Amino acid sequence: MMTGIWTIAKMSLLENSRKQVFHVLCLLMLAIIAGSTLLSIFTEGVQIKILKDLCMTCILFGGAAMAIALGSSGIPNDVESRTIHPLIARPLTRAQYVMGKFIGTFITVSIGVAAMTVAFSALIFMFQHSFDTYVGLAVLFTLLEVAIITAIATTVSTFATPAVTTVLTFLAYVGGTIKIGYVGGLIERSSGGLTKALYSMIYHALPNLECFNLKTSLVHHDAVPAAYLGQVALYGVCYIAFVLVLGMSFFARKEV
């Protein structure tokens, strides 16, 4: 079972790493991280804080953009180019195929995020003359957030076109980020029963992405309770598993 998943993941990793969008996004984000030193020069005293804030936002946006761009095109491209037919003819279930695609895309995005993290850590070392241990934790939870976005993109791509998948995943990403502050406020302000029920449904379906944002912890060196981190990690893994199982069941019924 694992061999099948790993073969698809390796194939997906190779395919994604050759895509122009991956190279362009990686280079753009690395250039922005390098360029952020210029912007932080203007703010005397809080240089390092601005640098950390800017670079972490950049890593998150870059990772999310890569996850959306690569995750939304993997399965539809295979279906359109009919390369999926010889794969499904082999002793490989559709669930294994979807799982392999997710893992392959996630590894590709992780490589991009790792490159950005190395550049970010080098900048911190340049400014602080020491490495920041909070970077690892913040990046690890950013990766978990990116994994959720990848899982959503992979699942939506099992029944939608790449363009629709990109839009829906982006909406889920934005909605998940502003969920507690904005969508929660909408529920409180709505008066009608039906509207309230609709908003509540959207509220509970959207991922709680703000929980994975430990940027403020990195910037202000505030310790995050270990129990909270454990709960966030468990929640992330559960959400990914749930979304992927949904995707697998959609794809199992799909005619390709």
Partner 1 sequence: MRIVRTLAASLALIALAGPCHADGAEELGHHWYVPTYRMEMQTQIAIMAGFALAVLAASWLAKVIRTRRSRG
- Contacting residues toward partner 1, per CB under 8 A: 28, 31-32, 35-36, 39, 53-54, 57-58, 61, 177-181, 184, 204, 208, 210-211, 213, 215-217, 222, 224-225, 228, 231-232, 234-235, 238-239, 242, 245
Kindly tell me which of 10 and 196 has the beta carbon lying closer to partner 1. Answer: 196
Beta carbon of residue 58, minimum distance to partner 1 (angstroms, whole number): 6
CB of 89 to partner 1, least distance (A): 27
Cβ closer to partner 1: 93 or 216? Answer: 216
CA–CA separation, 107 and 39 (whole Å): 31
C-beta of 51 vs 87, nearer to partner 1: 51
Contact 197, 104 (CB under 8 A): no
Residue closer to partner 1 by CB (options 238, 256) is 238
Q: Please tell me the distance from the alpha carbon of residue 213 to that of residue 31, in angstroms, as a whole number.
A: 23
Q: In terms of CB distance, is 25 or 160 closer to partner 1?
A: 25
CB of 157 to partner 1, least distance (A): 21
